[in-house]
Amino acid sequence: MIEEMRLRDLGVISEATLPMGPGFTAITGETGAGKTMVVTGLGLLLGQRADSGAVRAGAAQASVDGVWLVSEEGAVAERVREAGGDLEPIGDGRAELYLSRTLAAEGRSRASVGGRAAPAGVLADLADALVVVHGQSDQLRLKSSAAQRQALDRFAGEPVREALASYREAYETWRALDRELSSLVTDRDARAAEAAALRATLAEIEQAEPEAGEDTALAERAERLANSEELRAAAALARESLSSEEGGADVLSLLADARRALERAADPALTALGEQLADLSYRAADIAVELSGFLADLDESGPAELAAVEERRAILNGLVRAHGSLDAALALLESGSARLAELDDDGDRVERLGAQLAEAREVLDARAAALTEARTQAAERLSAAVTEELHALAMPDARLLVDVAPGAEAAHGRDEVSLLLSPHPGAEPRIVSKGASGGELSRVMLAIEVVISQTDPVPTFVFDEVDAGIGGAAAIEVGRRLARLAEKSQVIAVTHLAQVAAFAGNHLSVVKANDGSVTKSSVTRLEGAQREAEMARLLSGLSDSDAALTHARELLAIGAVQG
């Protein structure tokens, strides 16, 4: 619900504050005073395209600020927070949402959502959840088949909502199976080629029988074999130094001599050092043994082993070049078998998917039929209810037909929904936008909104001269219907008819003043005698006519009692 809207330098309005609130607000004023600028400003707050021509002459920029009352949770609050904005909690789960839009004379515009700068697109995202606008150039928001179908579904309520949810579940299941089967059949040759290539690759890896880390170990072995003579000389010299086979002085004999000398001294400190020398002797002996083993290994190896190692490395390097690393080749060997089994199962999968698709189609057909039946029943009720409203709106012979016909299969079902109007007996029902005059179209639109709002109310309706082309008793009924609509939704109507304004609980007047050079307009809330005078002006063009004032008071009394 819009609590308040402030306009500055927009069109002929220099500065104005519009207090809205719940119920029915009527906005009136002289021609050219700027009533439509209220709708223009609201459009800016709802993300509509900004036109720099709307900036007041001589002003650098125009601005519009709005305060909405919304729920602290829900789609609106979530979108605001996604945009980085905040809500102002006021209790009872409600919060105030501040929106603003500025439009520079040179064409640039800026938007703010919940106190945070945001693209105008965020305002547009919020629009559908906040307000429905019926303007003079867009008398019927239900022009498209999709919008008409959605209107029927809104009116139908839970029966269609459940049937539609059930249908969509079946539709998505059927589509997923259909896509999978189509892809399988279409790509059969490609999948066969993939299977053949994968089979050859796996055979190559299996034949090589690689082991994790084998390439690194072979590289080290090849390096050792290639430098065997240098390694043999170094190892032999080290072993001879530690333990000489020719009986010469070596490390082990020198350590033994040193240890014995310390032991003969019979000193505790020297004895302890002798024990450390014993440890050194054991470690030196172990190293000498390992060096002997190393030399024995080199003696057993030869050019033949080096050739075998290099041959094995060549095989593994081929796998590395093909797959990036030996680990990648081993991983493919592990995962490729499952993929190959999947590819080799194509024939059986096609058969299984075909059977599943047939079953899914049967379920989809049944749920589509149930959805169509629910919509058809709702269409009959909607047709009757709107037709009754049209009779009350001074269209006694008009009949609205909500037609549910077979259409293309889609996520919303298989139904093509059309709103058809027969304005008088014998007339062939035609699409509403083509079968009604401007005044009739206004009443049809209003009747539809009044009926649908009983089951699925919209937070706020804004009507820009919904009474165009009508008058007299029909205008009174329009006012009465707007008041009824306002029982469940906020209604704001720009009107030039006193018969409509009489039913408003909140009457705002756009007042035009002329300072001799520039026309300025502001907005005033009317009560008591001021409202009576404005009603008289709407009726006769004269705010002080006794006859008009008497008529105005009669209309206000009707509005107060019957609205």
Record the pTM.
0.64
Query: Which pLDDT belongs to residue 168?
Result: 96
What pLDDT does residue 160 have? 95
Task: Tell me the longest C-alpha to C-alpha distance in the chain.
Answer: 146
Query: What one-character DSSP code corresponds to residue 62?
Result: E
CB 124 within 8 A of CB 401: no
High-pLDDT (> 70) share of the chain, %: 88
Higher-confidence residue: 378 or 284? 378
Q: How far apart are CA 563 and CA 24, in angstroms?
A: 10
Instruction: Tell me the mean pLDDT in the region 449-470.
Output: 81
Distance, CA of 119 to CA of 84 (rounded, Å): 11
45 vs 340, residue with greater confidence: 45
What residue ranges in 395-539 does DSSP mark as E strands?
Answer: 399-410, 413-422, 430-431, 460-464, 490-494, 506-514, 519-526
183-234 tens-digit pLDDT? 877 666 677 777 788 878 888 888 877 878 777 877 776 666 656 667 666 7
326: pLDDT strictly greater than 60: yes
pLDDT confidence band for 112 (50 / 70 / 90): very high
pLDDT over 90 percentage in the chain: 26
Q: Within 466-545, where are the H helices?
A: 472-485, 498-501, 528-540
Residues 6+ apart with CB under 8 A from 441: 139, 140, 432, 433
Check residues 426 and 236 and name the one with the higher pLDDT. Answer: 426
Report whether 420 contacts 400 (CB < 8 A). Answer: yes
Distance CA 509, CA 161 (A): 42
Give the model's pLDDT for residue 74: 85
**pLDDT of 360:** 95
pLDDT category of residue 526 using cuts at 50, 70 and 90? very high
Per-residue pLDDT tens digits for 493-507: 888 899 999 999 999
Is the pLDDT reported for residue 157 higher than 70?
A: yes
In whole angstroms, how far apart are CA 67 and each of 3, 95, 97, 113, 449? 5, 10, 6, 11, 24
Tell me the angle at which helices 228-242 and 268-300 cross, rounded to the nearest 10 degrees.
150
Q: Please tell me the distance from the alpha carbon of residue 27 to that of residue 2, in angstroms, as a whole number.
A: 14
C-alpha span between 141 and 458 (Å, rounded):
13
Say how far apart CA 386 and CA 398 lie, in whole Å.
Answer: 10
Residue 517 confidence (pLDDT): 52
Tell which wins on pLDDT, 249 or 428. Answer: 428
143 has pLDDT over 70: no
